[in-house]
């Protein structure tokens, strides 16, 4: 491949300004040779026999993606080094990066320094840029990248530069058809412009670009010849990379920049219709399996950074992090073993089974049973938490109300939908085992007959636009929990059902969507004009309100005066029951 010779440090600023404009125009610039920089990283060898070297010494990337705040780098790098890690990967490089590079270099660790481009992060990520026409964005980003390349190119912590992350895949959220293809080509050509410009500013560190699938590699092959190597994020499919490389006839080596157990997007759904998260034991075994598949491609795969040296204790953190809540789990130690790190004196509890869960009545209780043991004989303590990602897209894990010690009796939330319960098994030595199962919260069964089903229903307003609209009043009395009524976003609002004749009832059930009533009354009327309250509250909290109220009337109305959210009011069901 064509490379630009080194530029003497004392002349780099002027040389950089001189070559930048012509690089963007597609002209290869040759500068004068120079003295060696403090750290020289090279991709050497030939087809199928490549090596990565640092200052002439063979270097295999044994890495993890970096998650903690940069301010914690100095305290955490010794731990990474003890695990056998020699590299961390970042997604962004800017004025805050130096402490990370300093801490890495002080501990014999190097950094794959990333640069973010829109639409980064693959499917679901935001930021759509027109790479065909938006010259201003491309110029701005190129200048920004080169600013930090110039700032850090002589830092001994830098291993290589990584331009972009999952943008080729992510463009499917922004474009379609031939335009999508044009954008992917234009993006990859821009990545090549960046690579050439970085080579001119820093000839001593390779440049790569990451995407989420090997399906991006044909674009790099055709339009980014100045990349020194390829990079890919791959989880459940990591063992397929080698054959993809062979079948594609590629002529560059690669590294894995994210990898590990199967992700949420590539596992089968469980009995409740949500992704079936691998067990702690499966995750433990997934990391060395991924590493072994990667490194079996000798002379082509130059190593990788597994995902993820992170500490968040949320939905994604429990799925992938090696240290959720700063507690070490089985995956932490399996990565250390794969990298030849120090062997632990103590390891986490192992949860080998957990009961499956199905439908749970809102606000009721259910039983969670696990089988756990500690390899070191440490006493295990337990904590249970709940997550509502599949209800409201929240990543947070909140404490569950539970009693007992395996099996546990857990109080269910009162909001409908599929939830997850997590069991944390701790050994008191900073280690944790985690297992999770999903369960579906459904309305509690009500005695008697729902006399509101199918009856004429009206409301003060209904939402006519939006995903799933119109949200008609009749949808609150259709007997289905998959449809709903929704009002305008204002106070007050009401919804009423005509029972057809004056009728007595002894129970009302309100099944709220997330837009619930904080203050409301249940009212009855014989004529639809004069109303009398049979129930009122100013402390409604949503979910399912099962109200033991006695009333008589032809019409039953929910009259709401204070919303519990910024939206309107929304009911899956308004049920009126009689014995």
DSSP β-ladder status, 301-309 and 254-258: parallel
Helix (H, G, I), strand (E, B) or coil at 467: coil
Does residue 13 have a pLDDT over 80?
Answer: no
pLDDT tens track for 503-552 = 999 999 999 999 999 999 999 999 999 999 999 999 999 999 999 999 99
pLDDT at residue 26, rounded to an integer: 40
In 3D space, the residue among 366, 497, 493, 340 whose CA is nearest the CA of residue 421 turns out to be 366
Tell me, what's the pLDDT at 366? 97
Q: Which of 572, 558, 573, 579 is nearest to 507 (CA)?
A: 579
How does pLDDT run across 320-331, given as a tens digit for each residue?
999 999 999 999
- pLDDT for 18 beyond 90: no
Mean of the pLDDT values across residues 179-196? 98
| pLDDT at residue 258 is higher than 80 | yes
When comparing pLDDT for 495 and 12, which is higher?
495
CB 317 within 8 A of CB 310: yes
Pick the range with the lowest mean pLDDT from 9-18, 290-299, 313-322, 563-572: 9-18
Tens of pLDDT along 131-148?
Answer: 999 999 999 999 999 999
pLDDT band at 428 (very low <50, low <70, confident <90, very high): very high
What pLDDT, on the 0 to 100 scale, is given for residue 121? Answer: 87
pLDDT band at 6 (very low <50, low <70, confident <90, very high): very low
- pLDDT (tens digit, 9 = 90+) per residue, 336-370? 999 999 989 999 999 999 999 999 999 999 999 99
Which pLDDT belongs to residue 122? Answer: 79
| pLDDT given for residue 127 in this prediction | 83
Return d(Cα 434, Cα 332) in angstroms, integer: 13
Percent of the chain at pLDDT exceeding 70: 93
Spell out the residues 6+ positions from residue 246 whose beta carbon is closer than 8 angstroms to its own.
none
**pLDDT for 375-414, tens place per residue?**
999 999 999 999 999 999 999 999 999 999 889 999 999 8
Nearest-angstrom CA–CA distance, 335 and 345? 16
pLDDT one-digit tens code per residue, 53-66: 999 999 999 999 99
Q: What is the DSSP string of 422-485?
A: EEEEE-SSSBEEEEEEEEEEEPPP-SSEETTTT--EEES--B-SSTT--B-GGGGGSS-TT--E
pLDDT of 401 reads: 97
pLDDT at 376: 97
Q: Which domains does the chain show, CATH number per domain? A: 9-338 (3.20.20.80), 350-442 (2.60.40.10), 449-578 (2.60.120.260)
Is pLDDT at 4 greater than 90 in this prediction? no
What pLDDT score was predicted for residue 20? 37
């Amino acid at each position: 491949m064509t490379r630009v010779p080194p530029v003497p440090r004392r002349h780099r600023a002027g040389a950089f300004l001189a070559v930048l404009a012509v690089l963007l125009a597609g002209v290869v610039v040759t500068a004068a040779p120079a003295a060696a920089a403090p750290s020289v990283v090279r991709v050497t060898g030939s087809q199928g026999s490549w090596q990565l070297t640092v200052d002439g010494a063979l270097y295999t990337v044994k890495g993890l993606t970096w998650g903690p705040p940069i301010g914690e780098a100095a305290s955490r790098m010794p731990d990474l080094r003890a695990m056998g890690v020699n590299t961390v990967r970042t997604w962004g490089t800017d004025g805050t990066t130096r402490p990370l590079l300093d801490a890495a270099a002080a501990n014999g660790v190097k950094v794959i320094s990333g640069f973010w481009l829109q639409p980064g992060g693959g499917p679901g990520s935001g930021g759509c840029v027109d790479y065909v026409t938006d010259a201003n964005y491309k110029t701005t980003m190129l200048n920004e990248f080169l600013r930090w390349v110039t700032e850090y190119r002589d830092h001994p912590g830098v291993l290589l530069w990584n331009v972009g992350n999952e943008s080729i895949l992510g463009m499917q959220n922004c474009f379609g058809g031939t335009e999508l293809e044009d954008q992917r080509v234009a993006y990859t050509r821009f990545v090549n412009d960046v690579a050439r410009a970085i080579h001119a500013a820093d000839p001593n560190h390779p440049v790569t670009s990451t995407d989420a699938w090997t399906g991006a590699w044909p674009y790099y092959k055709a339009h980014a010849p100045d990349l020194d190597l390829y990079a890919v994020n791959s989880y459940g499919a990591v063992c397929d990379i080698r054959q993809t490389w062979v079948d594609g006839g590629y002529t560059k080596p690669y590294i894995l920049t994210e990898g590990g157990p199967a992700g949420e997007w590539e596992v089968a759904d469980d009995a409740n219709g949500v992704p079936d998260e691998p067990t702690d034991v499966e995750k433990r075994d997934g990391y060395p399996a991924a590493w072994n598949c990667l490194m079996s491609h000798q002379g082509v795969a130059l190593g990788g950074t597994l995902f993820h040296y992170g500490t968040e204790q949320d939905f994604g953190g429990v799925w992938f992090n090696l240290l959720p809540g700063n507690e070490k789990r089985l995956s932490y130690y399996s990565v250390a073993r794969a990298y030849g790190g120090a062997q632990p004196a103590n390891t986490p509890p192992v949860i080998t089974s957990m009961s499956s869960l199905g439908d749970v009545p809102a606000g009721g209780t259910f039983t969670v049973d696990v089988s756990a043991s500690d390899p070191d004989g440490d006493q295990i303590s337990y904590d249970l938490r709940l997550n509502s990602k599949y209800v409201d897209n929240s990543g947070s894990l909140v404490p569950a109300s539970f009693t007992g010690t395996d099996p546990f009796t857990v109080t269910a939330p009162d909001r409908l939908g599929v939830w997850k319960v997590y069991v944390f098994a701790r050994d008191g030595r900073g280690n944790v085992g985690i297992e999770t199962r999903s369960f579906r919260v459904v309305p509690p069964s009500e005695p008697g007959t729902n006399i509101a089903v199918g009856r004429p229903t009206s409301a003060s307003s209904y939402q006519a636009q939006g995903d799933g609209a119109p949200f008609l009043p009749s949808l609150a009395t259709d007997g289905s929990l998959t449809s709903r009524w929704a009002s305008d976003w204002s106070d007050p609002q009401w919804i009423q059902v005509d029972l057809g004749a004056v009728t007595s009832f002894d129970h009302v059930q309100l099944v709220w969507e997330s837009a619930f009533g904080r203050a409301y009354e249940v009212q009855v009327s014989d004529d639809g004009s004069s109303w009398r309250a049979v129930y009122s509250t100013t402390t409604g909290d949503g979910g399912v309100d099962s109200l033991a109220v006695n009333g008589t009337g032809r019409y039953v109305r929910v009259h709401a005066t204070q919303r519990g959210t910024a939206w309107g009011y929304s009911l899956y069901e308004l049920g009126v029951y009689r014995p």
